[in-house]
Amino acid sequence: MGGTNGKKLNLKLKVWRQKNSKDAGHFEEYDAKDISTDCSFLEMLDIVNNKLIVEGKDPIAFDHDCREGICGSCGMTINGNPHGADRGTTACQLHMRRFNDGETIVIEPFRAKAFPVLKDLTVDRSAFDKIIQSGGFVSVNTGSAPDANAQLVPKEKADLAFHAATCIGCGACVAACANSSAMLFTSAKISHLGLLPQGEPERDRRVLKMMETMEEAGFGNCSNTGACSLACPKDIKFENIANLNAEFLRASIRSRD
């Protein structure tokens, strides 16, 4: 219903179909008919899929879960833009009223060497988990924590740390980057933990380990175009990367024997 108009759209979709990680993959065309402008982008795909199922065909596979823009599951590139052209919006929060009747929409998986396609639009982003497990934490066992107010944290720092911590790990930054770099993702974690006193003891070790893992996982380097930050559905700031570089340099110098 929406305040808009409840209009219907007829669209052409060009969708990447790939049976599994070994298949070469190709584009296939579909008609999406009578799509309400109040549909989310994923609900539009649901309608197309329902038709495919009834026709006995394999529906388009894509990751999704919360459909509220917070779980980070829905990663797909829409007309060349990760999550579509709207700023600060995940694919599940993108709505069809942003499209025009008769339009052709090209839908692809997030493309990056470190994110192999599993099927159609579904990719494997476990490389992000590997980066986190190499150092994206504070080593504190359950039960050994002091009183929560024992260490005061200036509100400004806490707010900055919070903002960096709102990264949803969707991988749009990697998909948007010409080098498939994971610098924005990694830098968000470095800022989140590095800005807080709780993260201080492992500050050097963390950045060295995470950068090493990032490279091993097949992500490229940063060439400062800022495409990552523009594509980020949570507006993670580009300046985090500058901070990451500074932290990396600092840690590299300090850790030399």
Partner 1 sequence: MSIKLDSKIPSGPLEEKWSKHKFDMKLVNPANKRKHTLIVVGTGLAGASASATLAELGYKVKTFCIHESPRRAHSIAAQGGINAAKNYQNDGDSVYRLFYDTIKGGDFRAREGNVYRLAEISPNIIDQCVAQGVPFAREYGGALANRSFGGSQVSRTFYARGQTGQQLLIGAYQAMMRQVGLGTVELHYRREMLDLVVVDGQARGIIVRNLTTGELESHSADAVILATGGYGNVFYFSTNAKMSNVTASWRAHKQGAAFGNPCFTQIHPTCIPYSGDHQSKLTLMSESLRNDGRCWVPKQKGDKRPPEQIPDEDRDYYLERVYPSFGNLAPRDVSSRQAKYRVDEGRGVGPSGVAVYLDFRDAINRVGKAGIEQRYDNLFDMYAKITGDDPYKVPMRIYPAVHYTMGGLWVDYNLMSTIPGLHVLGEANFSDHGANRLGASALMQGLADGYFVIPYTIGHYLAGTSIPKVDANHDAFKAAKAAAQARIDALFAVKGGKTVDDIHRQLGNIMWEKVGMARNKAGLQTAVGEIQKLREEFWQNVRVSGEANNLNPELEKAGRLADFLELGELMATDALERNESCGGHFREEFQTPDNEAQRDDENYCHVSAWEYTGDSSLKGKKSWQLHKESLTFERIKLATRSYK
Identify residues 30-49 at the interface with partner 1 (CB under 8 A). 35-40, 42-44, 46-47
When the beta carbons of 61 and 226 are compared against partner 1, the nearer one is 61
Among 14, 97, 111, 205, binds partner 1 (CB under 8 A): 97
Q: How far is the CB of 141 from partner 1 (least distance, A)?
A: 5
When the beta carbons of 63 and 180 are compared against partner 1, the nearer one is 63
Residue 12 sits at φ, ψ, to 5 deg, of: -110, 135
Binding mask 199-238 for partner 1 (x = CB under 8 A): x---------------------------------------
Complete DSSP assignment for 167-197: -----HHHHH-TT-B-HHHHHHHHHHHHTSG
Work out whether 104 is an interface residue with partner 1 (CB under 8 A): no
Short-list 128, 133, 196, 187, CA closest to 161: 196
Among 48, 184, 193, 251, binds partner 1 (CB under 8 A): 193
Among 13, 32, 72, 78, binds partner 1 (CB under 8 A): 72
**CB-count burial class (<10 Å; 0-12, 13-18, 19+) for 144:** exposed
| Sign of the four-CA dihedral 171, 90, 184, 82 | positive
When the beta carbons of 138 and 223 are compared against partner 1, the nearer one is 138
Scan for tokens 């998986």, then name that residue.
109
When the beta carbons of 6 and 80 are compared against partner 1, the nearer one is 6
When the beta carbons of 85 and 145 are compared against partner 1, the nearer one is 145
Work out whether 141 is an interface residue with partner 1 (CB under 8 A): yes
Short-list 31, 69, 118, CA closest to 126: 118
Which 149-178 positions form the footprint of partner 1 (CB under 8 A)?
Answer: 149, 151-155, 158-159, 161-162, 165-166, 168-169
Structure tokens at 231: 């594509």
| C-alpha to C-alpha distance for 160 and 217, rounded to whole angstroms | 28
Work out whether 24 is an interface residue with partner 1 (CB under 8 A): no
| C-alpha to C-alpha distance for 58 and 50, rounded to whole angstroms | 10
